[in-house]
A and B are shown apart, each in its own frame.
Chain A
């Protein structure tokens, strides 16, 4: 019991931050490399959640509830983004029967 308590308290701010960086990194790589729009959207969500995690970690560490409030805003924005993003994807798919990012390059020079 005692042992466990020690190990739990040893999880500090930096652990959360590192996890946040890892999540952000996965998200970035996903967005950069994956061709499927849906996966890309998910990666974006992952990046947003990395941000959320960082916000919450700082809020907790500094006893400042504003971070938590901001996280709620981010969640709301993420929801809206997902809704619009998916709607766009559906729209694109109906038109082109394809959601591969490499083929969606009509807006080029």
Chain B
């Protein structure tokens, strides 16, 4: 059953935008209380409408049902053959995203009212935050690529605005610009993918993709099908937005923004947009051969491991979390890249809970520390801020993947999917390539397992370093340590509950075997909600033993990571940790400096660009423009002006002469000269039959009325015709005849004959044998 029903989905989007407009336009004159009321209220309203919509979707519509909302009557963009309608659609996939985004955004808005209370630019912050929420909802609810793209760019803009929120510090503004520019690279790919898709199948609506599989399979370039290139280009966009190799470099720097921003935009929602888009357009990625999927999964896996290793040694609280986010996004991309779309989206959801929570916990800690973010200066905070500590404890368990916390189930689903996935190569692939393909899933699993080990280690290193042991900061800071206000702790508790419980709707099939059906239904709700109506089923290991084994391995790996972290950091940074750092100095430096990727980009992109810019500035701007054009131009203008200004004599009577002469001239040309100057005639002879063609000139047909005298006797044989062609006359006797054409301009009543048609060439005589 596939039913679509109309629903005012625009309200979900409009409410946050309304809040943003109020706060940005009038926020400065409003009290902080009113500003936060508008901000939180508008998001709460959106959340309620969204919940209602999802309720309708779940209860009244079938599994393939969708709520739709057309935004404009008729088309949104029309240009030639291009017709694009704009609409919103809520199906089972976007329903999950919409609930996660609205409710987590609400929690973070509430948290921010506490976190930002001493901020002078309070209303601007909440205006941007609302603007972001609205854009994100457009991204999710868009029923086609262009609408999603509007939201996509909107969240990019808000991300830039909020990273550089404290723009008076150069570092923050630079981080904002970096995020924006890196994202532009991705967005360009996305845009190109969109254009390519449109030229290939002529539609950009998600719901129509699956009916164009034929065109998508057509080879386009280098023997690869259209779908492959579209998928790659779109993935470039996703890699930009979701911080994957090679475009992940902006996300760690994005931590320059206020912590609620990091939690909302750079952990829970915006950065997951890429994963969502891949799942949304899975039809394009599913098409065999699976090179596109392999690219996505491979990049995801490498990113997951690389970011996790960097996270191990970072000292800045939020930076660790940032690399953790990059790494977890890598996990999600492995999920969607191996066809385990449900697992990817599930991890997206659980990650939203615990990562938002981790960031908010970080914010709570930094709030207490007076803005200090270096974890080596913290320690023993647990006893000062118990709520933050224990919620953080829950999040850490969740992200490490310990049963029954949310991260366990989602990460397990991704690992199992990766392990069991199966890729197909083009038939032309060599035996070696075929061999590689067979081992590719196992390789992915191995990389992810290693990344999971690092994840457990760096998270618990963070936990132990910050919350246990002795305080390592200044006495003054220690004096100020306090638990955060309730508007900050309540979101922490709610998110902790989510991190604890959210996983329980996605329990693997084999674990619920034998349980009562109603319980089983709840425990496997996530999978049955999406499969097979919206997304294809995830690949699964064939044997239960393998699946149990994978689960056990994943748990052991996580416990190993936690154990290692506990050994090294429990109760403060141990001597062993310090000495290990000294012994592994080169590795430590490599990781601490993030594999020198930023330096590498600086060398191959930023510096050449700067050199180019400098050359253009010195050569093109300073010499050509400033030296040449700015002098030549005015000189010409001055010279011409010096001549022409003499017309401006100041004598009114001369002006009047000019006016009268000019008017007379225009009248003469337009009524007398122009209609006739264009008349041209040509004579064609065929025996005694003569054809006169008057259409060669520039006079349009019907402008003049002609009369033709074929023999110059003053009597017109053809009278009052507007036709310029087809005038034929057959002479009775041989001889030379004079032809006279009379043309009358009916508009002005002017009549002229062919002997004074102002230089026009009309034959005057014709000789017939």
The interface of chain A, by Cβ under 8 A from chain B, is 28, 31-33, 101-102, 104-109
Contact = CB atoms under 8 A, between A and B. Distances in A.
A101 B653 contact: yes
B649 interface: yes
Contact of A105 (B646, B650, B656, B660): B650
Nearest to B656: A31
Interface in B435-467: none
A31 B650 contact: no
Contacts of B650: 104-109
Interface string B147-176: 000000000000000000000000000000
Contacts of B652: 101, 104
A107 B655 CA distance: 12
A89 B660 CA distance: 23
Contacts of A32: 653, 656-657, 660
Contacts of A33: 653
B660 A109 contact: no
Nearest to A105: B650
B59 interface: no
B648 interface: yes
6 contacts: A31-B653, A101-B652, A104-B652, A105-B651, A106-B650, A109-B645
Contacts of A28: 660
Q: Is the interface of B mostly helix, strand, loop or mixed?
A: helix
Nearest to A106: B650
A108 B657 CA distance: 16
A109 B656 CA distance: 17
Interface in B645-671: 645-646, 648-653, 656-657, 660
A106 B649 CA distance: 9
A32 B653 CA distance: 6
Contact of A108 (B648, B653, B656, B660): B648
A108 B652 CA distance: 10
A101 B657 CA distance: 14
A33 B657 CA distance: 10
B653 A109 contact: no
A41 to B, nearest CB: 12
Nearest to A34: B653
Given A108-B651, A109-B645, 17 more contacts: A31-B653, A32-B653, A32-B656, A32-B657, A32-B660, A101-B651, A101-B652, A104-B650, A105-B649, A105-B650, A106-B650, A108-B648, A108-B650, A109-B646, A109-B648, A109-B649, A109-B650
A102 B648 CA distance: 14
B646 A102 contact: no
A106 B651 CA distance: 9
Contacts of B651: 101-102, 105, 108
A87 B468 CA distance: 94
Contacts of A104: 650, 652
Contacts of A106: 650
